[in-house]
């Protein structure tokens, strides 16, 4: 019988988790909050917004940031959800999103939740080719 579980660490704690669920779902189930915009349980994950990043210490590219909604757990995987690298990346991404959609309550609330209340950027207006 196939083992449907793998052992991973999240924020230095070891867990046995289902291997067919993304790291985003696993973390959410454990009460570890990861921001997410483009993921929806009804859709196949495609990792577009890049806001759900986690740091994988021992992945193919060590210490790399990866979208947790498309990341499937593998035995021995070491995941961190709150690092300076993630905070720096997320802060910049929230600033871009605020510049892109300043009227969006969803973006404003999510950015504020992670300590970003304003942006240094302005939205570049698209020009139409006639
Ligand atoms: S939720 Fe959008 S990339 Fe993961």
Task: Give the pair of three-digit tokens for residue 115.
Answer: 């300590």
What is the distance in A from the centroid of ligand 1 to the CA of 36?
5
pTM for this model (two decimals): 0.89
pLDDT in tens, 97-111: 999 999 999 999 999
> Class for domain 5-82, per CATH?
alpha beta
Ligand 1 atom, smallest distance to 45 CA: 4
In the chain, domain spans: 5-82, 83-124
Name residues contacting ligand 1 (CB within 6 A).
36-39, 47-52, 67, 69
Minimum CA distance residue for ligand 1 atom 1 = 36
Say if strands 78-80 and 5-10 run parallel, antiparallel, or are unpaired.
parallel
Check pLDDT > 70 for residue 26.
yes
pLDDT value for 61 = 83
């Amino acid at each position: 019988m196939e083992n449907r579980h793998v052992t991973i660490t999240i924020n230095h704690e070891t867990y046995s988790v289902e291997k067919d669920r993304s790291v985003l779902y696993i973390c959410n189930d454990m009460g570890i909050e990861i921001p997410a915009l483009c993921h929806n349980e009804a859709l196949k994950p495609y990792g577009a917004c890049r806001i759900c990043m986690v740091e994988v210490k021992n992945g193919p590219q060590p210490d790399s940031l990866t979208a947790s909604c498309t990341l499937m757990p593998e035995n021995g995987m070491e995941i961190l959800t709150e690092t300076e690298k993630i905070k720096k990346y997320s802060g910049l991404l929230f600033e871009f999103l605020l510049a892109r959609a300043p009227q969006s309550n969803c973006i404003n609330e999510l950015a504020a939740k992670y300590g970003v209340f304003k942006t240094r950027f302005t939205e570049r207006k698209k020009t139409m080719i006639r």
